[in-house]
Amino acid sequence: MIQALRNNWWLLLLCGIFEAMYSITSLLMRTPEGAVILRRFANEDSAVFWCELALAAGIAMIAAGILGSPRGRSWLLVLSGLALSAYGLIPILVRNRSIRFLPFAILLAAMAIGVGAVAVRSGGLLAGLGAALILFAFPILALGFRWFRLVQPGSFFVWMSIYFALNAICMLGLGLQLKRPMGGITNATVF
């Protein structure tokens, strides 16, 4: 399975690039003082662009998981990719309707745990980032269940930036690790 994942390392990089773009655009939505600066320029097209970025990243992650091997698949990558694709697809399908954050929080938590577990198993610096990503699932769920609220209006964009940045770093790291001829990932470390 590792050889097949190594042959498709670029899919993980592509996913990481899309998630990095999502993270950067989320971060640019607010000023250091907390004011939502680009929000006044945001329109339906920019929201659809975010959804398309998430959907593209999810598709790349699913493909990386499925193409992992003809016999065995990286099911955590596939499940995380399905969650990310749903995260991007739901707002497109239900435009002009109010959607609670809870379904998105559950999808984000599932992605964080799935990608985080793969990163933890890969070892090294990625293991620490994977653990941080898994831990990030808990405050996201707490936000979804409204156990606490964000006070500053722009802080949601910061949370999404941090989340997608951690996810992007994990995906880029996994892709680069697999690209190396004898990368640090072994047969036992991929789910």
Here the CATH number for the domain that contains residue 81 is 1.25.40
For every residue of the chain, DSSP letters joined together read -HHHHHHTHHHHHHHHHHHHHHHHHHHTTS-TTS--SGGGT--HHHHHHHHHHHHHHHHHHHHHHHTT-SS---HHHHHHHHHHHHHHHHHHHTTTS---SHHHHHHHHHHHHHHHHHHHHH-HHHHHHHHHHHHHHHHHHHHHTTSS--SSTTHHHHHHHHHHHHHHHHHHHHHHHHHSTT-S--GGG--
Q: Domains in the chain: how many in total? A: 1
* Residue that wins the pLDDT comparison between 191 and 137: 137
Q: Quick check: 187 pLDDT over 50?
A: no
pLDDT band at 48 (very low <50, low <70, confident <90, very high): confident
Q: What is the predicted pLDDT for the residue at 97?
A: 82
Average the pLDDT over 110-131 and give the result.
92
Confidence at 35, pLDDT banded by 50, 70, 90: low
Q: Is the pLDDT confidence value at 126 over 50?
A: yes
Q: Is the pLDDT score of 45 beyond 80? A: no
CA atoms of 48 and 153, how far apart (whole Å): 21
Which structural domain range is residue 8 located in?
2-189
pLDDT at 32 over 60: no
For residue 116, name the pLDDT band (cuts at 50, 70, 90).
Answer: very high
Residue 99 is predicted with a pLDDT of 85
According to the model, what pLDDT value does residue 102 have? 93
Reported as a pLDDT band with limits 50, 70 and 90, residue 71 is: low
How many residues can be counted in the chain? 191
What is the pTM assigned to this prediction?
0.83
